[in-house]
Amino acid sequence: MRFAVIGCGSIGLRHISNLLQLGHEVVAYNRGQARRDLAKRRFNIPTFDSIDEMLDSNKCDAVIICSPNSLHKYHMISVIERGLHFFVEKPLAVELNDLSEMEADITKKGLISHVGANMRFHFGPMTVKEHLDLDFIGRPLWANFWGGMYLPDWHPAEDYREMYSSKKSLGGGAILDFIHEIDLMCWMFGEPKLLAAMARNSGCLDIETEDLVDVIMAFKTGMQGNLHVDYLQRPFQRGIHIIGEKGSLRWDLVEESVKVVGHDKGVSKTIQYPHGYIKNDMYVAQMEYFCSCIQGNNQSISGFKEGMSALKIAQNIKQSISTQQFVKR
């Protein structure tokens, strides 16, 4: 298949590389010449300084949108108007305006959409989800999801203060950057019915956006959950801890393992990552899945609807922070 990639930043370059390794053709757009030249030099692919020219002069099967968060909606509109399947990096957008109309148009045209949810394809969360689906720990009672990174270390070759993460106008901030954690909670437990949040800018990083966020949630099943995300931790941290009636599950990115305890089964085990497992494996698995959805004309488990759901929760979190009140959903 042939793919058009919008945006040649770090994630765009990763997707280009993976698509080529999977045997697909790729063309790419970037507004700035330096990144266009980098993509052309590294991968020997056609590059464009106009999205319209790229999409109108190439017969593409799908588009991969890797632009700054604030541009996702506008680039999706261009793609949907042309009737093309698309993969958009998270978050789906930075606001909910017009998304319901876009969803209706996607359905009407029979398009396959996928919102970047690479953590669903990571060995750790996948193993946790498998054990939940098998009812290994019984009814979940409490869950803690966390993620933290030191923003200056994320892309050390760039000035982090100029990255989208640091700019309100570009849709940055820890809430949207860590929307993966929100998506994982919904994937495993459904949407929360009630939440309350606190967030602030610590002043440590000289950025505009929030760098420290804590959320408590209540779910329809009666389960309670905590979410913590920040731009301050080093080294990078990410994990899940779930307590159930019959046991517990704990995934830790740093420890590269999932710890499983089944009280009534007398089981206590640690599941290590497969030998040679690397970060890029989840991105490859996600792209293979998206390609299979197109080829089989099947809707993605992380499509536009799911992306909109996670974005609504992110907006509810911001609402709670602003009003200093619980938000009932």
Last residue within a domain, chosen from 117, 150, 171: 117
DSSP string for residues in 176-195: HHTHHHHHHHHHHH--EEEE
Q: What CATH number is associated with residue 112?
A: 3.40.50.720
d(CA 124, CA 131): 11
| pLDDT tens across the length of the chain (329 residues) | 999 999 999 999 999 999 999 999 999 999 999 999 999 999 999 999 999 999 999 999 999 999 999 999 999 999 999 999 999 999 999 999 999 999 999 999 999 999 999 999 999 999 999 999 999 999 999 999 999 999 999 888 889 999 889 998 888 999 999 999 999 999 999 999 999 999 999 999 999 999 999 999 999 999 999 999 999 999 999 999 999 999 999 999 999 999 999 998 888 999 999 999 999 999 999 999 999 999 999 999 999 999 999 999 999 999 999 999 999 99
**Domain shared by 113 and 218, yes or no:** no
Q: Are both 81 and 132 inside the same structural domain?
A: no
CA distances (Å), 204 to each of 40, 210, 231, 309, in order?
A: 37, 11, 10, 32
Cα gap 288→27, rounded to integer Å: 18
pLDDT score of 118: 97
Q: What is the DSSP letter of 274?
A: P
**Three-state DSSP state, 265:** coil
Here the CATH number for the domain that contains residue 203 is 3.30.360.10
Domain span at residue 90 reads 2-117
107 and 180 inside one domain? no
Question: Residue 215 and residue 224: Cα distance in Å, rounded?
Answer: 11
Last residue of a domain, one of 58, 87, 117: 117
The total domain count for the chain is 2
Residues 284, 146 within the same domain:
yes
DSSP state of 318: H
For 71, 124, 259, 263, 318, the CA distances from 131, given in Å and listed in that order, are 37, 11, 11, 14, 32
Which residues sit opposite 3 in a β-bridge?
Answer: 26, 62
Same domain, 229 and 324: yes
**Is pTM beyond 0.85 here?**
yes
111 with 38, same domain: the answer is yes
Shared domain check, 267 and 155 = yes
What is the helix (H) or strand (E) element at residue 7, kind and residue range? none
Same domain, yes or no: 239 and 290: yes
> Which among 87, 117, 147 is the end of a domain?
117
Contact 194, 217 (CB under 8 A): yes
Are 105 and 152 contained in the same domain? no
51 with 58: CB under 8 angstroms?
Answer: no
Q: Strand, helix or coil at 146?
A: strand
User: Helical H runs in 22-163?
Assistant: 33-43, 51-57, 72-81, 99-109, 123-133, 151-154
User: Encoding tokens for residue 300?
Assistant: 């993605």
Closest by Cα among 57, 60, 44 to 5: 60
